[in-house]
Amino acid sequence: MISMTGYGYCEEETEKLYLSVEIKSVNNRYLDIQINLPPFLNPLEPRLREFISSRVRRGRVEVYIRLRELEEELKVHLDQSVASEYAEILRRLAEQTGITEPLRLDHLLGMEGILKSTRSRDLERYWDAIQPLLSRAFNDFSLTRKKEGSATKQDILRHIEIIREALSGVEVLKDDLESYFTETVRGKFQEVVGDQVEESRVLTEIASLMVKYSINEELVRLKGHLKSFSSIAESEDAVGKKLDFLAQEIHREINTIGSKSVQYDISSGVVSMKDALENIREQLRNVE
């Protein structure tokens, strides 16, 4: 069993760059991946999304990539035609205004477009740096999800045992239904007709009540669901959806048993089962 809540972080600094990868997730019904990158790394988003989607089934997963260049590869280019154009205009301006000061280099350096710089950004080089950190951060992220998932599983299975114990008590009480109905029906007939009770009518009424209020089928199905639930919960795979479905089936059987209950002790057992199941369903909201 794996939790949908996890966290992983890794960072590294070399002579040329500082890089960090942070991965965190919270509950979500479906898989929702949020990638946060410096704008110049946006072309790498599909690769990051594929990395996460191939390893996570459910939850809102946020990935933060932070990168800072410590030694940039900067290339500067001179636009000769623009520089010549500026120089010619400045010479003409000097002639027209009578300025005799000679044209200097600093007069041109402030002009737009003469010097152009470009940063050398090789995406494959960045990806080669990000990949190992991403894997390490994801390993930490997975460990936290498995650790929390293990604790969640233990708590869920503890509540499954509470349901089983209550179910065992209901099974014992179920065997008293016939004597309960016999006593009740005979008492009602005697109130109405006294001692002149037709045994066949009494037995027919008892049989009718036994059919109407029998919970044998519900108990059998409930035990089967609990067995399947415990087995699936032991899996290391993503089991949240399967367990959600089984929890719904368990809820349906418990409700039916409660609706057929005519004895206080059985109703009390149903309340215990419902309370334990509610705790299970609450925990399942965090299971992948």
| CATH number of the domain where residue 14 is located | 3.30.230
Query: Is residue 1 included in any domain, yes or no?
Result: no
Are residues 229 and 129 part of one domain? no
Are residues 179 and 260 part of one domain? yes
Query: Is residue 136 included in any domain, yes or no?
Result: yes
Angle made by CA atoms 228, 234, 240, in degrees to the nearest 5: 75
pTM of full prediction above 0.85:
no
59 with 27: CB under 8 angstroms?
A: yes
Tell me how far CA of residue 186 lies from CA of 180, 200, 201, 267, in angstroms.
10, 11, 10, 24
Are residues 236 and 132 part of one domain? no
34 with 63: CB under 8 angstroms?
A: yes
Residue 109 confidence (pLDDT): 73
Q: Is the dihedral of CA 233, 235, 241, 245 positive or negative?
A: negative
34 with 161: CB under 8 angstroms?
A: no
98 — alpha (psi -120 to 50), left (phi > 0) or beta? Answer: left
> Domain range for residue 216?
147-284
One pLDDT digit (tens) per residue for the chain, 288 residues: 999 999 999 999 988 889 999 999 999 989 999 999 999 899 999 999 999 999 999 999 999 999 987 566 656 667 788 878 888 888 888 888 888 777 777 777 777 877 666 665 678 989 999 999 999 999 999 999 999 999 999 999 999 999 999 999 888 877 666 666 666 666 666 665 566 666 666 667 666 666 676 788 889 999 999 999 999 998 888 899 999 999 999 999 999 988 877 777 788 999 999 999 999 999 999 999
Are residues 182 and 80 part of one domain? no
The token duo for 7 is: 């966290």
128 with 16: CB under 8 angstroms?
A: no
Pairing type for strands 17-26 and 6-13 reads: antiparallel
Are residues 191 and 155 part of one domain? yes
Query: Is residue 226 included in any domain, yes or no?
Result: yes
Residue 190 confidence (pLDDT): 60
Residue 276 confidence (pLDDT): 96
Taking every pair of Cα atoms in the chain, the longest distance, rounded to a whole number of angstroms, is: 140
Residues constituting the chain: 288
Domain count, the chain: 3
Are residues 84 and 198 part of one domain? no
Are residues 19 and 83 part of one domain? no
Query: Is residue 129 included in any domain, yes or no?
Result: yes
Are residues 152 and 100 part of one domain? no
Nearest alpha-carbon partner for 54 in 34, 75, 31: 31
Are residues 132 and 215 part of one domain? no
